[in-house]
Amino acid sequence: MLASELPAIPLAAGILTMLPGLLRDSPEDVVDLCRVSLELLSPEGLEVSSRRYAGILADLEANLANALRILAQLPEAQRHMASALSLADEAPDDQVRGGVFLNASLVARDARNFESALELAGLSKRLFRRVGNMRLTKRVSRVEASVAFLQGDFSSAISRVRALLRDPTLEQGARFSATFMLVKALILEGSAFQAASLLPRLTGLARSLPGDRVATRLCWLRGLIVGRVADPDVGERLMSRARDECLDQGLLYDAALVALDLAMVRYEAGQHREAARHAAGIVRTFAATGAHCEALAALRCFHASVTARNDARGRYRELQLYLPLARHDPGYGYRPGFLDPEASVH
């Protein structure tokens, strides 16, 4: 049977259209659907020469890899992404190839292969521009900004996000996510008052977007900004609520990032005992899971720095980059001082 006669091809093509809507809330379902589709399309015993068939396989492998990345199964994600990239060479559709490169850039970013992530993002952006898909072109721009952020290059992240936000056609959800990143980068660069100027814009965006996660993230940033520039007590109330909501939603690493912000607001206000209390609280939460050993060690290091008042700011900045990557790679070990190798702790 030729690939063009294979009944599973239209079925797989239909499944591919469903995957973007499932990815955020049900990555496990994306994994299952991709695996079933790949089994149905197994080329064993088939006389397959269709380039369209290669494109569908590449798209499925790339979506499977991206879902596995989200589920913190990075080594398996990398294996499937290698297959996707190989198949993409045979795919005639620039839209499909652009999507493969976009997902590949996310896997490379979370594997901390930042140079490769930017190269793949650039390839993806050129293909999306060629086919006129500006929505995904902007998505690639957000990935590029996130790479700069995770490298600790906050100035570049700020510049990239601001350029993206100048586009009046940017979708509201993407605009909220980009503004969230901008606020965090400004805070980490030491520009809290510039971050505060974005709060009305964030509040307006959140009103137009449904979902508990958006409300929680707004509460988080409101607490961080207010705590930094005005009233640490009000900031604590807001961030404590956001931390608890993250835990209720199963967002353990987001809860840790909120707790770090909360501890640092108290620390910067000279309230070191309160800062240590919040740092100890998130250590206990992670310890209770019985997993996430590397992240737990990193949080303990932060708690020790806060308690000893020894470069707590440096550890805070590092964990803002470390934890988002450890979320998708539980085996990623924390090395204190990685943003400033000369200050590494041995």
The SS3 of residue 2 is strand
The predicted structure's pLDDT at residue 43: 58
Integer CA distances (angstroms), 74 to 65, 67, 77, in order: 8, 10, 5
Domain of residue 181 covers 142-209
Q: Does residue 302 lie within any of the structural domains? A: no
Alpha carbon distance 298, 8 (integer Å): 47
Same domain, 67 and 178: no
Residues counted in the chain: 346
Question: CA neighbours within 13 Å on the CB side: how many for 101?
Answer: 26
The predicted structure's pLDDT at residue 5: 47
Q: Does residue 273 lie within any of the structural domains? A: no
Q: Does residue 73 lie within any of the structural domains? A: yes
Asked which of 76, 105, 132 is the last residue of a domain, the reply is 132
Asked which of 132, 164, 191 is the last residue of a domain, the reply is 132
Question: CA neighbours within 13 Å on the CB side: how many for 203?
Answer: 9
Q: Does residue 257 lie within any of the structural domains? A: no
Same domain, 192 and 72: no
Question: With contact defined as beta carbons under 8 Å apart, do 251 and 211 qualify?
Answer: no
Count of domains for the chain: 2
Same domain, 168 and 90: no
Integer CA distances (angstroms), 327 to 147, 159, 165, in order: 15, 26, 27
Q: Does residue 274 lie within any of the structural domains? A: no
Tokens of 128: 């999306």
Question: CA neighbours within 13 Å on the CB side: how many for 26?
Answer: 10
Same domain, 4 and 107: yes
Asked which of 209, 230, 252 is the last residue of a domain, the reply is 209
pLDDT, tens only, 181-215: 999 999 999 999 999 999 999 999 999 998 899 99
Same domain, 27 and 99: yes
Same domain, 16 and 68: yes
Q: For residue 111, which phi and psi values (nearest 5 degrees)?
A: -85, 5
Alpha carbon distance 14, 274 (integer Å): 54
Q: Does residue 33 lie within any of the structural domains? A: yes
Q: What is the pLDDT along the chain (346 residues), one digit of tens a residue?
A: 444 445 667 777 888 888 888 888 899 999 999 999 888 887 553 444 456 688 889 999 999 999 999 999 999 999 999 999 999 988 888 999 999 999 999 999 999 999 999 999 999 999 999 999 999 999 999 999 999 999 999 999 999 999 999 999 999 999 999 999 999 999 999 999 999 999 999 999 999 998 899 999 999 999 999 999 999 999 999 999 999 999 999 999 999 999 999 999 999 999 999 999 999 999 999 999 988 999 999 999 999 999 999 999 999 999 999 999 999 999 999 999 888 754 444 3
Alpha carbon distance 77, 80 (integer Å): 5
Q: Which residues contact 89 (CB under 8 A, 6 or more apart)?
A: none
Does the predicted model carry a pTM greater than 0.95? no
Question: With contact defined as beta carbons under 8 Å apart, do 243 and 255 qualify?
Answer: yes
Same domain, 125 and 148: no
Q: For residue 230, which phi and psi values (nearest 5 degrees)?
A: -140, -70
The predicted structure's pLDDT at residue 211: 86
Same domain, 119 and 79: yes
Strand partners, 47: 2
For residue 27, the domain's CATH number is 1.25.40.10
Same domain, 11 and 116: yes
Q: Does residue 277 lie within any of the structural domains? A: no
Same domain, 21 and 99: yes
Same domain, 101 and 149: no
Chain mean position to CA 285: 22
Alpha carbon distance 328, 178 (integer Å): 20
Q: Does residue 344 lie within any of the structural domains? A: no
Question: CA neighbours within 13 Å on the CB side: how many for 268?
Answer: 25
Tokens of 289: 């899971």
The predicted structure's pLDDT at residue 50: 58
Same domain, 76 and 182: no
Alpha carbon distance 334, 294 (integer Å): 7
Q: Which of 136, 135, 66 is nearest to 98 (CA)?
A: 136
